Chains A and B, each alone.
Chain A
Amino acid sequence: MIRRHTLGGTSYVFEGLVDLMAKATPTRSGDQLAGCAAESDAERVAAAWALADEPLATFLDEVVVPYESDEITRLIIDSHDTAAFAPVAHLTVGGLRDWLLETAARPDSAATLAAVSPGLTPEMVAAVSKLMRNQDLIAVAAAMRVTTGFRTTIGLPGRIATRLQPNHPTDDPAGIAAATLDGLLMGSGDAVVGINPASDSPQATARLLHLLDDVRQRFDIPMQSCVLSHVTTTVDLIEQGVPVDLVFQSIAGTEGANTSFGVTVAMLREANEAGRSLGRGSVGDNVMYLETGQGSALSAGAHLGVGGRPVDQQTLETRSYGLARALDPLLINTVVGFIGPEYLYDGKQIVRAGLEDHFCGKLLGLPMGVDVCYTNHAEADSDDMDTLVTLLGVAGAAFVIAVPGADDVMLGYQSLSFHDALYVRQVLGLRPAPEFEAWLDRMGMVDEQGRVVPAELAGSPLLSLTGPA
């Protein structure tokens, strides 16, 4: 259905919901590359205005990616919770923005938002985010609570966890152990100690899983480990009795993009069951770890929706959260600046996308974290990362990713450093996950406020982590 809006004497025409959503999206290079972005600032606002008038119920009738050809659309539509939707069913997209901000300002906001969450589809959430300023995205996200658990509890108020990412270009166990030690001494690793392997071979993955599990047991650390291999590799290792805590997979918002990742909804559901069957969690049984990122569908050439039109990358990203919530993950993060300037050009676009992804994921009921990161060919630097991590701390992000000195020597990009995680905890008074904080306390590594105290490596019992067991 065609939408029109007149602004400043100019009449703008939008060829259906896909076009309207794309044109209403704040500027980003990926939508320009896909050819779906607004052609002027005025057209963008006209689209936002028209989108604000769109009834939420439209999104249940008019899909952006065809139901017949896309299993993510089928999952979203078939699992929609009509009862949860009822309190907002009469609203428009603009009305939902107002409702969210009013609700966020009330004392019972967390319970009210959690109750409505299953009634919202990813497309509704993406649409409303396009009408929201950064401040709005932060205010509503900060009012929500999503908690999950395995050996630590993720998402509690007043806390922010970290993924310790001790990557090494050749998966060298000694190098990975050294980076793990560095992170633990800086109080990192309460979300997960997660390695991106250089090799996807099952043997290499198993070796690294044993390494991390040995560290956990030797030092009695309440933590979960993960080697981010393909989900099929991990499921095979579960069957072989290798100690698998979390089951990882990258996911995207269209069936085509997930096909390019070699996964289907059914495979992911089975992997979730396989992970849970091990019963290795102590405080919860969320076992999935998922990563996403705006632009992944476009880079796989699987970004077209109804009428063969390109769907904007932020809407597609939010659809991946529709898949994620069917998997009850322990952790999910957007890898926001990793994909490069052709998708998110500069610090402004990366910051905006990070806040959008965090808000959308959290509103859809996910324990949302962010890999606050950039590449050397993006117009971004440490200052932009400082801005984003501070805003995410205020917005109540479940976790961030940290690597030694912000320099990932395996993936060749810059994430946050262990120092950056300490900074955001310090300035916002945030603490690590409670089980992990208790361990740090037993090790004499935190003060009474839960702040990690500087540690001398030479005197630390963790030093033997890098030696033989």
Chain B
Amino acid sequence: MSGDLETDPWTALRRTTQARIGLGRVGSALPTTRALEFAAAHAAARDAVHEPLELDPFLTEVGGVGLGAPVHVRSRAGSRGEYLRRPDLGRQPDDLGGLAAGDHDLAIVLADGLSPRALADHGVGMLEALVQAFDGRYRLAPPVVATQARVALGDHVGEALGVTTVVVVIGERPGLSVADSLGLYLTHEPRPGRSDADRNCISNIHPPGGLDYATAARTAAALVAGSRELGASGVRLKDQGGLELEV
């Protein structure tokens, strides 16, 4: 490919797509720079999957938000390898002994999911934004930090805490361009056995490139209010409310 940015027609075309177009060729292969760019993106994605959450500093940060001391819950997946192989174990808590039912309406679970880095980078900011968006309307349970966790682990947590609504904030599967994106899943009347059809999801939360915390939190607050009015979350809420979830 021609190197001059001013005259290279690929420059204009790249504005239309993030796809790796016009990479050039050395023989049939990628030029060295392009091959290393790809390797770097894949390395970042893999590290985001495999590097564990640094639990103690994260618990301290979460404790500083003012919702009370956070509770740590592990899933039944004993290692990262087991977590990746056995999603069923990642959905089940190892021990819920640290959770006590109280007079709470809503619980927030901060889960590592497939990107602990996303939770470390954005979890506390997202939590603060949620607290602000809920604006004192609900009695919030002390936050739960869940590790080696899948979304459905929140159903067990929500049931143990006796809340009407559980919001799971979780690291999403890293892509080549973004390795630290959070997803947010809302489930009304959480209990084991809930399916994806019972949930509403907000994805792609990773400022500044993706959705920002305040916007995600406002959408979440609208969904929580809608689900409590309807008495259900998931497909019914989406159909009923006509909430625009795409961002």
Contact = CB atoms under 8 A, between A and B. Distances in A.
**Most chain A CB within a 10 A radius of its CB, from B1, B2, B30, B87:** B30
B5 interface: no
A396 B84 CA distance: 33
A179 B175 contact: no
A172 B17 contact: yes
Nearest to A403: B19
Contacts of B34: 405
A454 interface: yes
Interface in B1-43: 1-2, 7-10, 13-14, 16-23, 25, 27-30, 34, 38-39, 41-42
A340 to B, nearest CB: 8
Interface in B84-137: 84-88, 114
B28 A457 contact: no
B79 to A, nearest CB: 13
Contact of A423 (B2, B28, B87, B177): B28
Contacts of B16: 172, 174-175, 177-178, 466
A120 to B, nearest CB: 33
Interface stretch (A138-146, A239-247, A376-384): A376-384
Contacts of B114: 377
B23 A458 contact: no
B72 interface: no
Contacts of B87: 33, 342
Interface string B182-218: 0000000000000000000000000000000000000
A32 interface: yes
A186 B25 CA distance: 9
B196 to A, nearest CB: 11
A377 B20 CA distance: 21
Contacts of B19: 166-168, 175, 178-179, 182, 403-405, 407, 409
B76 interface: no
B49 interface: yes
Given A182-B22, A381-B42, A409 B173 contact: no
A341 B176 contact: no
A205 interface: no
Contacts of B20: 404-407, 417
A423 B38 CA distance: 17
Report the interface size class on chain A: 35 or more
Interface residues of B, number: 41
B84 A345 contact: yes
Nearest to A381: B42
B177 A409 contact: yes
A32 B81 CA distance: 13
B85 A29 contact: yes
B143 interface: no
Nearest to A452: B28
A277 interface: no
A175 B173 CA distance: 24
Interface of B: 1-2, 7-10, 13-14, 16-23, 25, 27-30, 34, 38-39, 41-42, 45-46, 48-49, 84-88, 114, 173-177
Interface of A: 29, 32-33, 166-169, 172, 174-179, 181-182, 186, 341-342, 345, 375-377, 381-382, 403-407, 409, 412, 414, 417, 419, 422-423, 425-426, 454, 456-458, 463, 466
8 contacts: A33-B86, A168-B17, A179-B17, A376-B49, A405-B30, A417-B30, A419-B28, A458-B7
